[in-house]
Structure 1
Amino acid sequence: MQSMTQRRVILWGEQIDNGNVRLPGRMMEGTGKASVKASGSCRLTQAVTAQRTFLWGTRSGTRYVQYKRNVLRKQRHWEKIVTAKKKKRKQEKERRKAKHAEDKGAAHQHSKRVLKAITKERLLAAKEAAPWLCVDLSMTSHMTKKMFVLSWKEISRLAAQIRRLYGSNKKAGKPFWICLTGFVAGSPISEECFRMNDGFSNYLMDTTPESYLDLFPLETIVYLTPDSENALQDIDPHRVYVLGGLVDESIQKKLTLQKAQEHSLQTARLPIAEYMVKNANVKNYHSETLAINQVFDVLSTYYETQSWPEALKAGVPPGKGYVLQETAL
C-alpha cells in the first residue's frame, strides 16, 4: 500500500519509481521509499515547487508564452498613453508660447507690479476729473423680509454685483470714481462685502455711512431709475450719478423715483426705449430694470465710446428681452 506522502506526490503529477521521485522532464533522486518517508513534507514541497517552476518558467510552455505576450501588450499600451500625454503637453506649451509672443508683440507686457501701479494711478486720477458713481446702500432696508434666508440671499447678490462693478471699473480705459454711501460698519451688506470680496478693504473707492444727500450738492446729483421719464443723453464728468442698492427680487415699483422726487433730484433712465426694441421670446418677458453692475457697464462703455447702441449692447443682457433696432430688422 502506498504511503500518504506517496499519494500526495502522485496527485500533483509526480511519479514514484523504485523510491525515486521523478517529475516530467526532471528527476529528483532519492534513496528509496524510506527516503521519501523520512523526507516527509520537505520532499513534497520540493516536488510541488519543481512542478510549478516547470509550468511557468523553466520550459517555454504555452502558459508562459501567453503570460509574456500579455505583459508585453500591456506595456506597449501604457507606452502609447504616456507618449500621447507628452505630445499633448508639448503642443499645449507651444500654444501658450505662441499666444504669449502674440500678446507681447501687440503691446509691451508689463509686470504685475507695474500694471497694479498703473491701475491705481488711473483710478486715483478719476477721483479728481471723472464722473462719480454712487451706490446708495441705505436702500437695503427695502429688501424682502418675508424670510431671513431670502433676504440674506439678496444681500449676497448685491455684494457680488458690487464686486463685478468694481472689477469692470478697474479694467475701464476711462474709469469712474465709485462711492458706497449708507455703508454702515457691522450691517449685513457690510459684512457680506468683506466676506465675499477678497481684499475689499483695499478697494480704491470711498465707503461711508453718510447719505449722498449730505455729501454732494443736490444740483449735481442725477438719480438713475428705470421709472424716470427722462432718457439719459450724455455723461457729465461734473455730475454724481446715483444708483439704488437693490437687486431684482426686491425691486418695488417707482421706489427709487419716489425717493428722488422727495428731494427734488434730477432723474434719468438708460435710453433703452430709444435704441432697443422688444424681442419676441417664449416667456414674453421684457424688463428695463438692470442690476447695478449692468447699469455701470452701459455707463462705462458709453463714457469711452460715446455710442449708446454699443453701450447698451455691452450692458443689457439678452434675457431682458430687448435687442438693438438694427438687429431686430
Structure 2
Amino acid sequence: MIKKQKKKEERGEKPEKKKEETFEEFVSQYDLAHNSIFLRFYETTINQFYNNRLIQAMQFGQKLVVDCGYDNSMTDRENKNCAKQLTFLFSENRSHDDPFDLHYCNINPNSILMQSLQKHIGTVHEPWFPLHLHESSYLDKFPKEQLVYLTPHCREEMLEYDHDAIYIIGAIVDKVNTEPLSLAKAKREKIRMAKLPLDRYLHWGSGSGKSLTINQVISILLDVKTTGDWKYALRHVPRRKVHDSAGKPEGQRKIWTPAKNELSKLSYRSKNATPNRMVKVRNIIND
C-alpha cells in the first residue's frame, strides 16, 4: 500500500482518502483488528503450553517408567501397534492437568518399535523434546525399592495409589504371544508387583479379554492419581468389555427407560394426523 501511494504521488495524483468507519461498521466486523472477544491461539502456542507443562513435570512431577524391552518378543505388526500406543500414551499424558514425568527405558534405537515411534513423533530424539529416552535399564536410573511393576498376571492388587512409587508399564502388545512376560521379568529382577483392581470394580463380559492398551493404562493412572477414585478412573476401560449388574453388556444398555406410570407423560405424533392432533403412547399400547 505504501509503494502504491508513493507511485501515485510521483505521477501527481492525489492520494485516496481513507473512508471513515462508523461505529456500526466497526462492531459488525469480527476479526483481530475489530470486535474480537477472544485472542487467536495457534497450534504452536498450544504445543508450547503443553510442552512447558511437561517440563514442569520433569522437575516436580511423579515419574512413570515405560519398559520398551519387549520388542524381540513381538511381531513386526505388534511393534508398529505398540509404537502407536506409545504415541497415544504421550499425548494423553501431555494433555492432562497433572502429567507424569515419562521415562522410556530399555529402548533399542535400531528396533522396529523405535523406528515406528520416530515416524509418529518426528521430534522424539530432539534434545528439547520433553520425553526421557534411555537405552539403559530403569534399575540403573531409579532406586529399586521405589519401583512397582504393573502386571495383570500377579496376585497383588493396587488398592491404594502410592504417590511416592515409580510405576512401570510394560510396552508390549501380546496378541500372538500371551505368555506372562512382565511377571517373569519382575520376578527375575526382584521388583514389587501390582495389578489394577479391575475384577474388584468391574463385571467382565463372557468372552471379552481383560487386556488393556498402554494408553488406557496411563489414563487410568492419571485419573486415580488426581482423584483417588478407582470407579471414576476405570471409566477408560472400553464399555464393550464390561457387563452391568443385570448381565447386559454396558454398550447395549439404554440411556433411559420410562416406567409404566411415565408413559402417560409421553406423546406420539401420528404421520397421518393433523399438526395439532396428538396421540398418547398409553392409548397406542392399550390398543
Pairwise same-fold verdict (TM > 0.5):
yes
1:308 aligns with 2:211: no
| 2:71 paired with 1:123 | no
CA displacement 1:123-180 (0-9 Å, x = unmatched): 112123222221111112222xxxxxxx211111011000000010111011011111
Match of 2:96 in 1: 172
- Which runs of 5 or more residues in structure 1 are unaligned? 1-96, 98-103, 144-150
TM-score normalised by the chain length of structure 1: 0.59
Matched, 1:258 2:188: no
AA paired with 1:244?
G
1:289 to 211, 225, 229: 211
Q: Could you give the per-residue CA deviations for residues 102-125 of structure 1, whole angstroms, max 9, x where no partner exists?
A: xx78xx875544433332221112
What is the SS of the residue equivalent to 1:133?
strand
2:95 and 2:201 map into 1 onto residues whose CA distance is: 26
Q: Secondary structure at the match of 2:175?
A: helix
TM-score, with structure 2 as normaliser: 0.67
Q: Which has the higher contact order (CA 8 A, sep 6+)?
A: 2
The answer for the alignment partner of 2:81 in structure 1 is: 157
Q: CA deviation at 1:198?
A: 3.5
Is the 2:98–2:226 Cα contact (8 Å) retained in structure 1? Answer: yes
Asked if the contact 2:71/2:111 (under 8 Å) is kept, the reply is no
Matched-pair contact (CA < 8 Å) for 1:182–1:210 = yes
Cα distance in structure 2, aligned partners of 1:327 and 1:198: 46
Q: In the TM superposition, what are the counterparts of 1:84-103 in structure 2 within 5 Å? A: none
Q: 1:326 to 1:240 in 2, by over 3 A?
A: farther
Residues 233-252 of structure 1 mapped to structure 2, 5 A cutoff: 233-252=159-178
Contiguous gaps of at least 5 residues in structure 2? 1-29, 31-36, 251-287
Displacement after TM superposition at 1:277 (Å): 1.0
Q: Which residue of 2 aligns with 1:317?
A: 238
User: Alignment partner of 2:99: what SS?
Assistant: coil
Counterpart code for 1:193? L
Deviation at 1:327, TM superposition (A): 9.5
The number of aligned residues is 212
Identify the structure with the greater helix proportion: 1
Which has the greater radius of gyration? 1
Shift of 1:195: 2.0
Distance 2:72 2:182 in 1: 13
Q: What residue number does 2:119 align with? A: 195
Within 2, Cα distance between the matches of 1:259 and 1:326?
39
Deviation at 1:301, TM superposition (A): 1.7
Equivalent residues of 1:183, 1:210 under 8 A apart = yes
Amino acid at match of 2:178: Q
RMSD over aligned CA atoms reads 2.5
Aligned to 2:109, the other structure's residue is in SS state coil
* Contact 1:232–1:268 (CA under 8 A) maintained in structure 2: yes
Q: Contact 1:161–1:293 at 8 Å: present in 2 too?
A: yes
